[in-house]
């Protein structure tokens, strides 16, 4: 599969339109089997204190990107799924600004998938590294 089909793209757009992702403003940047990029706009409502983005907001962005890249690589169009594990290492505080999550599939294409997600700040410095395990049905 070189490009995701329209049905997969529609599923990912539903994913970012879900209440939590939508409330945070997560949007699709790039969507292909080799890489999915999602963005999170600057918003003071996403901060812990001052202009530092809350870790849970960063984790939600990473989780959503991991699910999206799993959908992009699914051998069959999934009808559902869930994140089964999320491991995240925060590398530095993320000052408020548009964050980008870049997700690549490490293993999968079927029911069980493992993605690596790197979250970067506007200057493209890594603020978090994540592994997301997704089970699709």
Domain membership of residue 112 (yes or no) is: yes
For 58-103, the pLDDT digits (tens) are 999 999 999 999 999 999 999 999 999 999 999 999 999 999 999 9
pLDDT band at 3 (very low <50, low <70, confident <90, very high): low
* 88 within 8 A of 128, measured Cβ to Cβ: yes
Output the average pLDDT for the chain: 95
> Which among 35, 122, 17, 116 has a CA at the least distance from the CA of 72?
35
Label the pairing between strands 36-40 and 99-107. antiparallel
For position 133, what pLDDT does the model report? 98
Domain membership of residue 32 (yes or no) is: yes
- Tell me which residue range forms the domain holding 25: 6-136
Rounded Cα distance, 66 and 88, in Å: 12
Question: Quick check: 2 pLDDT over 80?
Answer: no
Query: How many domains would you assign to the chain?
Result: 1
Q: Which residues contact 120 (CB under 8 A, 6 or more apart)?
A: 99, 100, 102, 126, 127
Domain membership of residue 1 (yes or no) is: no
CATH assignment of the domain containing 26 = 3.10.129.10
For position 4, what pLDDT does the model report? 73
Question: Quick check: 1 pLDDT over 60?
Answer: no
End-to-end Cα, the chain, rounded Å:
19
* 109 within 8 A of 81, measured Cβ to Cβ: no
Instruction: Calculate mean pLDDT across residues 17-27.
Output: 96
Domain membership of residue 121 (yes or no) is: yes
């Amino acid at each position: 599969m070189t490009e995701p089909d329209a049905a997969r793209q529609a599923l990912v757009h539903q994913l970012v339109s879900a209440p939590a992702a939508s409330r945070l403003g997560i949007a699709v940047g790039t969507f292909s089997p080799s890489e999915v990029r999602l963005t999170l706009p600057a918003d003071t409502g996403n901060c812990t204190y001052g202009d530092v983005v809350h870790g849970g907001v960063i984790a939600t962005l990473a989780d959503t990107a991991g699910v999206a890249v799993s959908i992009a690589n699914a051998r069959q169009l999934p009808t559902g799924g869930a994140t089964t594990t999320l491991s995240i290492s925060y590398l530095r505080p993320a000052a408020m600004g548009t964050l980008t999550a870049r997700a690549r599939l490490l293993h999968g294409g079927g029911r069980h998938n493992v993605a690596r997600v790197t979250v970067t700040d506007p200057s493209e410095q890594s603020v978090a590294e994540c592994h997301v395990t997704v089970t699709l049905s």
